Structure formats: structure tokens, C-alpha cells
Amino acid sequence: MISKLQYKSIYLPVFLILWLGLFLDSTALAEQVQYNQWITNGLVLLVFAWVYSRVTSKIKKLMQYGIVLALLGEVVFSILLGMYEYRLENVPVYVPLGHSLIYAAVFYIQKEKIIQRNKARVISILYWAMIGYSSLWLLFDQDVFGFFCMLVIVLLLRKKTGNELFFLIMFFMVVYLELLGTYYQCWFWPDTWFGKVPFIASSNPPSGISVFYFGFDVGCLWMYKKLNRQKWNRMKIFRQIRSS
């Protein structure tokens, strides 16, 4: 089965480095290894170079824009607003790189032929799994913030933009990332929204926090449209011709 996957050399290393990198940056390992976060920084940079060398020129640009947007977002939401906090109270070098890696991984996962052949079924399964996942967190851990974020995602998906599959895969990619990151205590979320709104309880991590990654995805695409107008217009014309 794996041998039939066309893009596995792009997204499988991302799954691996998310686990290995966060394990190496864990609180437990920090007690044994000095500067362990820099080991993660170096490994993520190597994987970034690997993935970057294998994607199309369009995705290369989106990954570049992603680093800029991710760094800006991390500074605003983590450092300035205190929405969550990293282990060393910084923004690790690997984090903006990781955002772009996740973007590229999700893009190529959804392009696999087996997923495209069963697109409607995959969307339905992931959609209800997303609702079920957030509902369980609300039920067993009073994750009001995460559940609210999930409801926002549901409203966004009802617009039928054609990107439902991408966003649903992104949801569970972020679930994987957040569960690892909080388990290894690389970062943590306060037990209420921003740690300042007591009536909006939150889990660590919030179940639907990928809604903020959706903003990241849209921001990357917006930058691509603005900075590559001719290519974007040609692509729209090509899509119109192909659909007709």
C-alpha cells in the first residue's frame, strides 16, 4: 500500500520530525541534555530543506510566506497575548519552519490518488470525526474554547470553497502536533481562554485550535495571490477551461 503512495517522501518525514523533534525538545530530556532545543532546530531545518527540494515552485513560495506569517503569528499570540507559552518562554526556531512543513505535508496528502478517488467519503469521515473528537474533549475535560473553535470550523466548511478536504486533513494534522507538543511539555495552554477569561474553560491543548491554522493557510494563499498576480490569473483561466 505504501509503495503506491506518490508523495510519501514529502509528508512521511514531516510526521517523523514532528514526533522526534518534539521529543528532543521535551521537558524531560532537557533535564538530561543541555541545549536540546537546538538539536530540534537543526533537525527540523534539515527536513525543511529535504521537503523544500521536492515540492513545486508554487509550494516553495507558500512555504516561504508561511515562515514569515508563522513568526508574526507566534510573536503576537504567544509572546504578546499569552494565548499559550513555550517551554523556554520563547518562540523556538523550529516552530515557523514547522508551520510551513505542515502546510506542505497536508497539501500533498490530499493529492494522493487513493484519497482523491474517495474524496467525498474521506471528507465525510473526517468531518464527523472532527465533531466527535471535540465533543469528547468538551464532555470529559470541559474544553469550551476548543469546542467553540471547532464550531467556527464547521461554519467555515459550510461555505463549500472546494478546500474542505485540505482543511479537514489540516485539523487532524494539528491534533497530532498539539497532542505531541503538550504531552512532551514543549508548550502549554492555560486552563481558560488566554488565561484571562474564566468562564471559557480550555484544555491543554484546545481540541479545535486548528482554526487558527486555517487563518495561517488563508494568509499564505493571500500573499501568493498578491505577489504572483500573473501566475495566479493564468491558473484561474486554466481551471475555468478545464472545468468547462
Beta strand pairing call for 85-86 and 187-188: antiparallel
Output the tens digit of pLDDT for each of the chain's 244 residues.
Answer: 566 889 999 999 999 999 999 999 999 999 998 889 999 999 999 999 999 999 999 999 999 999 999 999 999 999 999 999 999 999 999 999 999 999 999 999 999 999 999 999 999 999 999 999 999 999 999 999 999 999 999 999 988 777 899 999 999 999 999 999 999 999 999 999 888 888 899 999 999 999 988 888 888 878 888 888 766 566 555 556 555 5
- The residue written with cell numbers 506542505 in the block is 104
Contact of 192 with 198, CB cutoff 8 Å: yes
Of 15, 16, 21, 17, give the one whose Cα is nearest residue 36.
21
Contact of 202 with 137, CB cutoff 8 Å: no
Contact of 43 with 133, CB cutoff 8 Å: no
Kindly tell me the burial class for residue 238, based on how many C-beta atoms sit within 10 Å of its own C-beta (0-12, 13-18, 19 or more): exposed
Residue 90 pLDDT? 93
- The residue written with cell numbers 494568509 in the block is 219
Compute the distance between CA of residue 138 and CA of residue 130 in angstroms, rounded to an integer: 12
Of 173, 199, 179, give the one whose Cα is nearest residue 101.
173
Residue 224 pLDDT? 80
226: amino acid identity, one letter: K
- The residue written with cell numbers 479545535 in the block is 208
**Assigned C-alpha cell, 195:** 488565561
Angle at 9 between CA 2 and CA 40, to 5 degrees: 120
Helix (H, G, I), strand (E, B) or coil at 7: coil
pTM, two decimal places: 0.91
Which residues have CB under 8 Å from 110's CB, separation 6+?
116, 165, 166, 169
Q: What is the CA radius of gyration of the chain?
A: 18
- The residue written with cell numbers 461555505 in the block is 159
